[in-house]
Structure 1
Amino acid sequence: MESNDLKGKRVLVTGGTKGIGKAIADELAQAGAAVITSARTKSAEGTHHFIAADLTKADQVLALANEIENTFGGIDILINNVGGLTTPGGGHSTLTDAHWQQELDLNLISAIRLDRILLPKMIEQKSGVIIHISSVAGKQALWNLNMAYAVSKAALNSYSKALATELADKGVRVLTVSPGATKTEPMIRFLNDYSTSAGITPEEGMKQLMAQTGGIPIGRMAEPVEVAQLVHFLVSPSAAYLTGSIYAIDGGSLPVVS
């Protein structure tokens, strides 16, 4: 990728202070973009323009969009990265209405709200790219570990495809990136908690989890920067003909053709 191919582009990365989000923000800034990050709380390591926002709350989504409009006049690229697994495992009997709503608010509705409020300016300028960060769980749910999360990501995939079709002739591209196991703090924490509860080592826990999904043929988790590099390509001029597709970055773990 060219090191300056995003010069002059205004980018918002939600959940952009840690993990995959931070890697994306850093990667796109290095490519010349003016990067804005949002999260509930600011990280001490952040070097990009930061706006605090809880995107599960409609009023804070509106406040975020208003600050972006007043400070930057809009954005050119939106990375909907905020999300996560926040509900317990154990299957349907462990999940309450509140659990389902919590997961949908975080992983689906937050992106829908932000898209809706930022899209009019993109349509007006007849250009823009929206990336939804999903998960391979959206295509391969593990009932005992991530049922509500997987369902919310599957819904995000469907919404993203529909939105891409709607906007294709308006100059706005919409794409989905679905990481598999990625070496982030939440993933390491999840592995440690899972292993502790099972009375096994984190290495054994990783093997058990991977056995449920068929393993990772490449033999390791992804690094956040590898996801960021894929996102960089997809938002760049080199990907101008791409829209509506889901890109798994999973080391070959999804046992499906599509």
Structure 2
Amino acid sequence: MKQKMDYQHELSGKIALVTGGTKGAGKAIAERLKNAGAKVIITARNHPESPDEDLYFIPANLSKPEDAGKVAAEVFEKYGKLDILVNNLGGSETPGGGFAVLTNMDWEQTIQTNLLAPVRVDKAFLPQMLEKGSGVIIHIASIQGKLPLYDSTLPYAAAKAGLINYSKGLSKEVSPKGVRVLTVSPGWIMTDASKRMMERISESAGISIDAATQSVMDALGGIPGGRPAHPEEIAELVGFLVSPRAGYLTGTEYVIDGGTVPTI
């Protein structure tokens, strides 16, 4: 008879790092790993609005090349190792208006944050994972890697497509050496920032919050699931993927979008 696994303690003894872990899906992921027994470190440019003494915070701007090494040095000094790396940091701040309004700086900053930052963080921690022959790396990408929105987030979409491709390539190199690499590509997530955006749309268009939400879903081509994701749903998928239950999974992209992407 198979022994039932205690999911609440399945990450006990593990050290985990979640980049961009102070809000949104990153915060939910950090809390999910903590609740499974891991010691969790989070990074972000700004301190958490509601600090959690059980989440060790390292201030860092990982779009700057030097900060990845600084984070790694502090993690190794305090904990001596890293078992789980969730590259969640990402986002887009480019203006609307399509290709013509995008500057070189828009492209460079977006690619630094969404592609090169996770590459550098991986590089800082992978040697130690390979030396001990174990570890899990999760790259949080986006359905925009396959379904780009050209009006305001084309650089973001291109960077996430690059991240998906890089993640697959990296998995082929390091999985035979004991390190699993996976990609999670969410669709629209109803974070606090998304809620504020719905309020702005509602106010400017003179429509209800529900109508504003529906207008965004329509712009995405519809969400068959009928709503955006909750951050905790993304976190639950990540919590499974980094666990021993997912020990045979590597090199794969997991789309969690309520059915938004209309193709296989």
- What TM-score does the superposition give when structure 1 sets the normalisation length? 0.94
Mapped to 1, the partners of 2:152 and 2:73 lie a distance apart of: 38
1:19 equivalenced with 2:15 (yes/no): no
Tell me what 2:81 maps to: 74
Tell me what 2:71 maps to: 64
1:227 equivalenced with 2:238 (yes/no): no
Decide whether the 8 Å contact of 1:89 with 1:147 is kept in 2. no
Deviation at 1:183, TM superposition (A): 1.0
1:103-122 paired onto structure 2 within 5 Å: 103-122=110-129
Tell me what 2:251 maps to: 244
Cα distance, 1:103–1:231 mapped onto 2, change above 3 Å = same
Mapped to 1, the partners of 2:94 and 2:76 lie a distance apart of: 34
Cα distance, 1:197–1:44 mapped onto 2, change above 3 Å = closer
1:189 equivalenced with 2:200 (yes/no): no
1:163 to 167, 170, 186: 170
Tell me what 1:253 maps to: 260
> Cα deviation per residue 1:15-68 (whole Å; 9 max; x = unaligned)?
111110110010101100000111111113232111110001122211111001
Deviation at 1:180, TM superposition (A): 0.8
Task: Classify the secondary structure of the residue corresponding to 2:63.
Answer: coil
> Cα deviation per residue 1:67-109 (whole Å; 9 max; x = unaligned)?
0111111200000001111111221001110000011011111
2:11 to 3, 6, 12: 6
Deviation at 1:192, TM superposition (A): 4.4
Mapped to 2, the partners of 1:205 and 1:155 lie a distance apart of: 31
- What TM-score does the superposition give when structure 2 sets the normalisation length? 0.92
Using the TM superposition, name which of 200-209 and 126-135 deviates more: 200-209
1:146 equivalenced with 2:153 (yes/no): yes
1:212 to 212, 216, 219: 219
Deviation at 1:197, TM superposition (A): 6.3
Query: 5+ unaligned residues in a row in structure 2: which ranges?
Result: 1-5
Tell me what 1:176 maps to: 183
Tell me what 2:51 maps to: 46
Tell me what 1:131 maps to: 138
1:28 to 24, 33, 44: 33
Decide whether the 8 Å contact of 1:219 with 1:251 is kept in 2. yes
> Cα deviation per residue 1:193-242 (whole Å; 9 max; x = unaligned)?
55666675554443233223321111111111110000000000010111
Using the TM superposition, name which of 230-239 and 192-201 deviates more: 192-201
Decide whether the 8 Å contact of 1:128 with 1:172 is kept in 2. yes
Quick one: which amino acid aligns to residue 102 of structure 1?
A: Q
Mapped to 2, the partners of 1:180 and 1:109 lie a distance apart of: 21
Using the TM superposition, name which of 187-196 and 119-128 deviates more: 187-196
Percent pairwise identity: 48
Mapped to 2, the partners of 1:195 and 1:170 lie a distance apart of: 51
Cα distance, 1:75–1:175 mapped onto 2, change above 3 Å = same
Deviation at 1:163, TM superposition (A): 0.6
Cα distance, 1:117–1:178 mapped onto 2, change above 3 Å = same
Task: Classify the secondary structure of the residue corresponding to 1:3.
Answer: helix
Mapped to 2, the partners of 1:91 and 1:70 lie a distance apart of: 45
| Matched pairs, number | 257
Task: Classify the secondary structure of the residue corresponding to 2:9.
Answer: coil
